[in-house]
Every structure is written in structure tokens, then in C-alpha cells.
Amino acid sequence: MAAKPDAKEAKDSKEAKEAAPGADKAPPPADGAAAAAAGKGSALKAWLPVIAAVILAPAASFAVAEYVLLPRLQHKLAATVPAAANEEAPASTDDSAKGGKEGKEGKDGKEGGGTAANYEFSNLVVNLAGTMGTRYLKTSFVITPAEKNGNIKQVFETQKAKLTDITLNVLSSLTLADLEEPGAKNVLREKLVAAYNQALGKRVVDQVYFSDFVVQ
């Protein structure tokens, strides 16, 4: 008789379970949500260095360029400029010396600087008098100014036609016998100087120096 109540209790328990479906399923434990949250936090911490590097890298590069590389470059350039100036200094000194030398040459009466310059007759050929054109004189000579700073070159170039004609007249008046005399060049030199100064109306020519003198 005692077993019947147990069967009834079992039946009631079964009906209760069927009346409340899913009541026997236990809710998920709270530890799973905490673990998921902890995992997200760990992942975020793992990415923090990368995020920080991406954000801070441009700022760090700017700081290095601004406060390290740029000052070094400026210092190097500042050291290079004086060195280049020192290297160029001898060239400017040479130019100054050259200019001084040219100025001195001009002062001494050499050509170039608008001061005194000699004048040259080159390769003049004339027939000698009394030879019927069978003998001739070929000569070249340089004329120097009477005044130290006189510009005889300009004088002769200005009156070139006139002074060339005078030169040819003096040379062609010579005979073969005149040129065979001792000191013939000195005599001819004096004739040329006198003829030039007379034509110019004052003592402009000082001396004549022969660089070529051939009688054939």
C-alpha cells in the first residue's frame, strides 16, 4: 500500500516538468560574459602600442627633424660657407694683383689701358733710287714717342696716310751707295725722325728701331 503514493508523486513531478518546458535548462553561467569582456580588454591592450605608434610617429619624426637634423644641417652649412669664401680669396687677390700689374704697365707706357704705345711699320718695300727698279729695300721698324706718356700710336693711326707717304718718300730716296756707307741705318733713322716731327709740327717721335732691314 505504501508504493502507491510514490507513484502518484512521480506522476505529479512529471506533469510539473511538462507544464514548465525549459524549466530544467539552467541559464548560462555569468562567468562566460566576464571572460568575453576580459578577452576584449586584452585585445585592446595588445593594440594599444600599435595605435600609439601610428599616432606618435609623425610627431616624433617632426621633432627629430626640427630639433636634431635641421640644427646639424645649419651648423654644417655655416661651417662650409666661410671655407668656400677662404678658397675664393686667393683668386680675387690674383685678380687684384693682375689689375695692379696692368695698371703699372699702362703707367709705364705699354699698350692696353689707353696710355702711350709704340707704332710699327711692317714689311715696307721700296725701290732704291738709281737702280732702275732692279734693287729694293725691305724693312720693318718701331717708332717710340718723345714723351713718356705720349700716345704715338693714336697719332700715327689718325694720320696714317700722310705719315706712310712720308716714310716711303724717305726710303725710296736712298741709293744703293747710301746703304753701303758705314752707319747707314743711323743716318736713315735720323732722316725718318726729322721727317715725322716736321710733318707733325712738334717733337712727337723720339726714336726709330729697325726689326727688319734687307737690301736685294
Could you read off the pLDDT of 49-59 as tens digits, one per residue? 777 666 767 66
- Mean pLDDT, all residues of the chain: 72
Same domain assignment for residues 169 and 82? no
Residues 126 and 188 in one domain: yes
pLDDT category of residue 101 using cuts at 50, 70 and 90: very low
pLDDT-derived band at 131 (thresholds 50, 70, 90) equals confident
pLDDT value of residue 173 = 93
> Is there a domain that residue 169 lies in?
yes
Domain of 188?
Answer: 119-215
> Which tens digit of pLDDT belongs to each residue from 162-192?
999 999 999 999 999 999 999 999 999 999 9
Beta carbons of 208 and 141 less than 8 angstroms apart: yes
On whether both 124 and 174 belong to a single domain, the answer is yes
Residues 6+ apart with CB under 8 A from 5: none
**Domain count within the chain:** 2
Question: How many whole angstroms separate alpha carbon 127 and alpha carbon 192?
Answer: 17
- pTM, entire model: 0.47
* Closest by CA position to 156, among listed 88, 201, 205, 113: 205
pLDDT at 92: 42
Using CA atoms, how far residue 176 sits from 54, 122, 132, 172, 186, in Å, is 109, 21, 11, 10, 15
95 within domain boundaries: yes
Query: Given a cut of 80, is residue 118 above it in pLDDT?
Result: yes
* Range 31-43 average pLDDT: 62
Among 73-77, 149-153, 159-163, name the one with the lowest average pLDDT. 73-77
Q: Is residue 171 part of a domain?
A: yes
DSSP characters for 174-189? Answer: -BHHHHHSTTHHHHHH
85 has pLDDT over 60? no
Whether 143 shows a pLDDT value over 70: the answer reads yes
Instruction: Give the rounded percent of residues in the chain with a pLDDT score beyond 90.
Output: 37
